[in-house]
Structure 1
Amino acid sequence: MKTQVKNVLEKLEGVQQVNVNLANSTIDVSYNKKTDEGSIRNCIEHVGGKIES
């Protein structure tokens, strides 16, 4: 799962850095104006990840 999430997010234009921490169940994403939070969420859910607010 970690590799899948990282790979799909790194393909988004505007994503600069991705850090997936399975131990803490967190994903940190650095991005610029070429993408948005909605696109990032969609990518994570597309590979089977669940987002808790």
Structure 2
Amino acid sequence: MSATHPECPFCGSTDTERHSQFGSEVSKSQYYCNGCHTVFERIKYDGEVADSGR
């Protein structure tokens, strides 16, 4: 999984882009999958690798 293009949890595609800086919580970002056209959330910081948001 890439920090710039996280893997979609629904279809596994890495053709994703950040949809919104904030998701349902401040600690999450929303991403859009161009493969299955689904919005998903990703934790910005998991304790190991920070999500740079790029």
- On whether the aligned pair clears a TM of 0.5, the verdict is no
Structure (1 or 2) with the greater strand fraction: 2
